[in-house]
Chain A
Amino acid sequence: MKKSTAIETLCSYCGSVCDNDLVLLDDKAYCCYGCATLNDVVAKIKNAPVEVGIKYKQLDLSETFEQVVDYQNDKIYRIGISLPAIHCSSCIELLEDLPSFMEGILAANVNFEQRRCLVTATKEVPLSFIAQLLDDIGYPPQISISQKLKDAEKAISKTNLLKLAVAGFCFGNIMLFSMPHYFGLAVANDPFFARLFSYLSIVLSIPTLAYSGREYLISAYKALSAGKSHLNIPIAIGILSLFGWSLYEIISGVGIGYLDSLAGLIFFLLIGKWFQHKVYDQVYYHKNVQDFIPLVVRKFSGDTEIWERLDSLSQGDTVLVKNEEIIPVNGVLNSGSGLIDYSFITGEALAERATIGDKVYAGGCQKAGEIAVLLSEKPSVDKLWSTWNTEAKTKTFSTRWTDSISKYFTIAVILIALIAGLAWSFVGLSQALFVFSAVLIVACPCALALSAPFTYGNILRVFSSNNFFMKSADAISVLGEVEHVVLDKTGTITNKEALEVNFVGDNLTYEHSQLIKTLANQSTHPLSRIVNQYLNSSSVLDLSSFQEATGKGIEAVINGKKVRLGSNSWVNASSSMKGTAVYVSIDDEVIGHFRISTSYRSGLKGVLKKLSRFVNISVLSGDNDGEREKLLQLFPSFKSLRFNLKPYQKAKEINQIQVSERVLMLGDGLNDSSAIQAGDLGIAITENLNGFYPGSDAVLLSESFDKMPAFFELARYSKKILKWSLAFSLLYNVTGIAFAVAGLLTPIIAAILMPLSSISVVLLDTLLVRMKSKNLKLI
């Protein structure tokens, strides 16, 4: 047995018992050096003042606050905050310690699966403080209204799960009550038990019908009253005739009914639905411009800066934008030197320079120090939106082909049922009724209804494991029918992150490259870094008298030589190149320049070649046609190759192609959003999932760009799978109807035939999708 010592010292960081070699630091005891160090680090963060940045200031606006919090009363509020940076158990430990970081935070509870933290705080702590604190400790929060929409989606999938549970419970129990009858057990012949089992089955089938299966009945009713055909109509007919006939049989004492088949049917249908319904935690389709452009900005009032709401600014106000902040307004650069990254909006990799007097646009990110922007017009969020996008509308997909099949299916089934019923009416009325309802029961296209959810559900899973996230299963069927693919150029088929650097000039000697690298190494300017990386084989020398002229270039003396790197005016170069270039001069003599251009995504050539087997390909670009030759070299058979297009013109072009073909638009950035929206299917390509992709039906991570042809092929194959399943389920239906017309559809045959058809169709679909995916190297 272990004896505890009289006085135990507890570690002031982790709380465990300190043994003999405890560490004393600042009058506090720690069990080990690790705890002492961690305590020191955490204490530094805890005591650091929180300075709220522009990104989070708007959270304190009362209308924003009310929209984002989950719960609030006079004293406290609670909010679920998305923190995509949560990675492992240490993150949970740190985040749940949040109450000790700031007075007023009452509780923090991490949901690891959803990468969310539920924070409760008193009203004395503004939400912006919490957001900034989280950002400071390395977890930039995503707080937005779009999060709420996502929660609503989650709630639906939760209800679906509960419906599934009820259906499963009832199905299992009704099945047990039917077993004695099927196996001819003595208990089934006992009139008391036979009746008990039957009536219990009725009791259990009511929640299945009224709660779990309600949606099928309601949507069938809606479709009928709107005069539309829908797959749910024959399903609803099947369900209702199953229930009606069973009630009749049980109450009149003729038989035990088909309630086990009814519950099983609904159970399988709900499994299909649950399988297909997938909410991606990391992907936000609902983001809008307010999630991106700050609603509260810093305004100069005389010499002091004050926070002001964006919509209360007016023309002539001056707004301050700090380094790495998003420019919230359209205006003119008033002071400072702009280096503005519009990559989020246009996909352009290189930041644009702006000098005083130049126009700057909302949505750009300032990369080089503080600037002031003079408003040229009164800003409004609607207007900001329209700068990059013409209009936002929701897109509805054309109804699935299964729905159009269901029309003929329903008519055929009712006709067969009527004819068979009439034929049997010569034998007797009750037989005629039985055959009539038996046909309706067995023809219920549940196998058909299951094949689409399982095929699409499986494909959704394959796609998402390859970083291709579809908003809905319906999008897959559209992807399979696309005939024309329209690509944006910048940021879509070019790589935002990989740049091509060429030195234009005399041969670059090793000595020169050493000099240039030494100089470029000193600056954090994006272009210097690119040059620095390009020359990474050279070594770095000592340098003196380094100076940087913001917006122009850099200069230093190395090995007694004056080296300059920068714009053409900085080095006094005579010519000015089109595009982005960094000029070099050594001892005032220009030796050449580095040409920096975006490179195409790796594998682009292969992707285009493979895609062209299925579809026509066009490129619509907002840029000038400087790359036309290069593109044609890569792939000579573009259907059309257009340049200098404004965002709305791209959308128009797409509408024109749509007259004869179904169009897929693949684009990136805000400036493509109207084109993405215009396509029958819009896919946004993005480097990371924290981005902003309005109007898109699917999001593709750029690393999976070369898998595009495989995605296409799988989506096209899905239609074939569905046709096979259709043939399969029709085979079952024909067999079943043959039994029914012959008057042989006993409950036991129904109980075998119905689950068998469902399960075999599900297995067939899953197997075919997996085989094809393996074939295409997607799994």
Chain B
Amino acid sequence: MKIIALLISLSLILALGFLYAFFKATKSGQFDDLESPAMRMLDTKNSKTNKPI
């Protein structure tokens, strides 16, 4: 049954990882604008990464 201790620590680390990712995403402004990235994706003209082949 001691294996549960390992599972618990793993799950906590994983969850902390998610929390960290959420913090990072919020601070870098990922949730500031949920609409334009979807539109920008379809813009073939200005995108540097999305050049047609």
Binding site for B on A (CB under 8 A): 4, 13-17, 88-89, 92-93, 96-97, 110-114, 158, 161-162, 165-166, 169, 172-173, 187, 190, 192-193, 196, 200
B39 near A112: Cβ-Cβ < 8 Å: yes
How many Å lie between the Cα of A172 and that of B33 in the bound state? Answer: 28
Q: With A15-B51, A196-B5 in contact, do A93 and B46 touch (Cβ < 8 Å)?
A: yes
With both chains docked as a complex, state the minimum distance between the C-beta of B49 and any C-beta of chain A, in angstroms: 13
Known: A114-B33, A169-B19. A193 touches B39 (CB 8 A): no
Do B39 and A14 touch across chains, with their CB atoms under 8 A apart? no
Q: How many angstroms from the CA of A93 to the CA of B45 in the assembled complex?
A: 8
Residues of B with C-beta under 8 A to A13 = 45
Contact A112 B51 (CB under 8 A): no
A15 with B45: in contact, given A162-B23, A165-B23, A187-B4 (CB under 8 Å)? yes
A161 to B4 CA separation, bound complex (whole angstroms):
32
Given contacts A15-B52, A92-B40, contact A113 B23 (CB under 8 A): no
Flag if B36 contacts A166 (CB, 8 Å): no
Specify the chain B residue showing the minimal Cβ separation from A180: B4
The reply to whether B36 and A16 contact each other, CB–CB distance below 8 Å, is no
Pairwise interchain contact A97-B46, C-beta atoms closer than 8 A = yes
What 4 new A-B contacts, CB under 8 Å, besides A110-B36, A111-B36? A89-B42, A93-B43, A112-B39, A172-B15
For this complex, 17 residue pairs linking A to B, each with C-beta atoms less than 8 Å apart, are A13-B45, A15-B51, A92-B39, A96-B43, A97-B46, A113-B36, A158-B27, A161-B26, A161-B31, A162-B23, A169-B19, A173-B15, A187-B1, A190-B1, A193-B4, A193-B5, A200-B8
Residues of B within 8 A of A172 (CB): 15
**Known contacts A93-B46, A96-B43: A113-B32 contact under CB 8 Å:** yes
Whether A169 lies near B15 (C-beta < 8 A) is yes
A17 touches B52 (CB 8 A): yes
Name the CB-closest residue of A to B2.
A192
Known contacts A14-B45, A15-B45; A173 and B26 CB within 8 A of each other: no
> Would you call B36 and A165 a contact (CB within 8 A)?
no
Interface residues of B in 1-53 (CB under 8 A from A): 1-2, 4-5, 8, 12, 15, 18-19, 22-23, 26-27, 31-36, 39-40, 42-46, 51-53
A113-B33 contact, Cβ under 8 Å, with A187-B4, A190-B1: yes
Could you tell me if B4 and A92 are in contact, using CB atoms closer than 8 angstroms? no
Closest to A204 in B: B12
Q: If the complex has contacts A14-B45, A96-B43, A173-B15, are A114 and B32 also in contact, measured as CB distance less than 8 A?
A: yes
Give min CB distance, A238 to chain B, whole Å.
26
Task: Using known A-B contacts A162-B23, A173-B12, determine if residue A89 contacts B33 with beta carbons closer than 8 Å.
Answer: no
Indicate if the CB atoms of B46 and A96 lie closer than 8 Å: yes
| Residues of A contacting B42 in the complex (Cβ-Cβ under 8 angstroms) | 89
Interface contact A165-B35, CB-CB below 8 Å: no
A96 pairs with B8, CB closer than 8 A: no
Complexed CA–CA distance, A97 and B5 (Å): 55
**What residues of A have a CB within 8 angstroms of the CB of B18 in the complex?**
169
Residue of A4, A13, A162 with most chain B CB atoms under a 10 A cut-off = A162
Q: How far is the CA of A161 from the CA of B30 in the complex (A)?
A: 13
Docked Cα-Cα span, A182 to B8, in Å, equals 18
Q: Which residue of A lies closest to B37 (CB)?
A: A112
Q: Measuring CB to CB, which residues of chain B are less than 8 angstroms from any residue of chain A?
A: 1-2, 4-5, 8, 12, 15, 18-19, 22-23, 26-27, 31-36, 39-40, 42-46, 51-53
Inter-subunit contact A15/B32 (CB<8 Å) = no
Residues of A within 8 A of B45 (CB): 13-15, 93, 97
> In the complex the two chains form, is B15's CB within 8 Å of A162's CB?
no
Question: Which residue of chain B has the shortest Cβ distance to A166 in the bound complex?
Answer: B19
Identify which of A13, A88, A110 gathers the most chain B CB atoms within 10 Å of its CB: A110
Report the separation of the CA atoms of residues A93 and B43 in the bound assembly, to the nearest whole angstrom: 6
The chain B residue with its CB closest to the CB of A13 is B45
Interface pair A89/B34, CB less than 8 Å apart: no
**Cα–Cα distance between A88 and B39 once the two chains are bound (Å):** 8
Q: Is the CB of B39 within 8 A of A89?
A: yes
Q: How far is the CA of A432 from the CA of B23 in the complex (A)?
A: 43
Complex interface: chain B residues within 8 A of A89 (CB) = 39-40, 42-43
Contacts of A173 in B (CB 8 A): 12, 15
For B1, the chain A residues whose CB sits under 8 A away are 187, 190, 193
Kindly report which residue of chain B lies nearest to residue A159, judged by CB atoms.
Answer: B26
CB distance from A690 to the nearest CB of B (A): 21
Measured CB to CB, the nearest residue on chain B to A177 is B8
Q: What is the CB-to-nearest-CB distance from A714 to chain B, in angstroms, rounded to a whole number? A: 29
The residues of A that contact B12 with a CB separation of less than 8 Å are 173, 200
Give, as a whole number of angstroms, the nearest-CB distance from B26 to chain A: 6
Residues of A within 8 Å of B26, CB to CB, are 158, 161-162, 165
Q: Are B39 and A16 in contact (CB under 8 A)?
A: no
**Pair A14/B44 contact, Cβ less than 8 Å:** yes
A71 to chain B, nearest CB (A): 14
User: Complex: how many Å from CA A177 to CA B51?
Assistant: 50
Report A-chain residues with C-beta under 8 Å of the C-beta of B22. Answer: 165
Chain B contacts for A16, CB-based, 8 A: 44, 52
A92-B40, A96-B43, A97-B46 as given contacts; A112 in contact with B35, CB under 8 Å:
yes
Do A113 and B34 touch (CB < 8 A)? yes
Docked Cα-Cα span, A204 to B25, in Å, equals: 22
Contact indicator A92/B19 (Cβ below 8 Å): no
CB-CB nearest 10 A-B residue pairs: A112-B36, A89-B39, A111-B33, A112-B35, A96-B46, A113-B33, A93-B43, A16-B52, A169-B19, A113-B35
Interface contact B43-A15, CB-CB below 8 Å: no
- Chain A residue numbers with a CB within 8 Å of B4 are 187, 193
Q: Tell me which residues across on chain A come within 8 A of B40, comparing CB atoms.
A: 89, 92, 96, 110
Bound Cα distance A190, B53 (Å): 63
CA distance A172 to B15 in the complex (A): 10
Taking the closest CB of chain B, its distance from the CB of A465, in whole angstroms, is: 18
A276 CB to nearest B CB, Å: 19
Which residue of B is nearest A10, CB measured?
B52
Per the bound structure, the CA–CA distance linking A110 and B34 in Å amounts to: 12
> Which residue of the partner chain B has the closest CB to A161?
B26
In Å, the complex CA distance between A13 and B44 comes to 10
Which residues does chain B contribute within 8 Å of A200, judged by CB atoms? 8, 12
Q: Which residues of B contact A15 (CB under 8 A)?
A: 44-45, 51-52
Which chain B residue shows the least CB distance to A99? B46
Closest partner residue, chain A, to B46 (CB atom)? A96
Q: How far is the CB of B10 from chain A (nearest CB, A)?
A: 13
Residues of chain B within 8 A (CB-CB) of A96 are: 40, 43, 46
Inter-chain CA distance A166–B22, complex, in Å, is: 10
Select from chain B the residue with minimum beta-carbon distance to A165: B22
Give the distance in Å from the alpha carbon of A379 to the alpha carbon of B19 in the complex.
56
- Which residues of A have CB within 8 Å of B36? 92, 110-113
Contacts of B34 in A (CB 8 A): 113
Contact of B32 among A17, A111, A187, A193 (CB under 8 A): A111
A338 CB → nearest B CB, Å: 44
